[in-house]
Amino acid sequence: MRRKAATILLILGFVAIGLDLYKRAPREVKVRLRWAEKRHEMRSATVVYERDGERVLQATFRYRDGAPYEQRHVVRLARGRYVARVSVEYASAPRSVRLPFEVRGQDEIALEGPW
């Protein structure tokens, strides 16, 4: 009986560890950046994803004739709190925005800001 109980506890321990690792593992998340009215003046945008003050990922988009209404891209992020630092270069002047967000397991995130 003790051997059976020990085996069950061992299996449950492995399952708990596996679930924890699964939750912490980075996964693909679709990010939608929705640009504002001045998107026609936009020349480029750089998005830096930070977690706990450290850079995790960076993406840069360049636009010849202005940006589309929505820029989509896929990133690999683990669950947790992040900050997206978005630097936008307009024909007239640059602008930077800090947008906090959280990945909880969703497949898609929309980031909108005062660009």
Indicate left, alpha or beta for 80 from its phi (over 0: left) and psi (-120 to 50: alpha): left
pLDDT tens digits along 66-105: 999 999 999 999 999 999 999 999 988 999 999 999 999 8
Name the pTM for this structure. 0.79
Q: Are 87 and 104 in contact (CB under 8 A)?
A: no
Could you tell me the domains of the chain? 28-112 (2.60.40)
Checking if the pLDDT of 19 tops 90, the result is: no
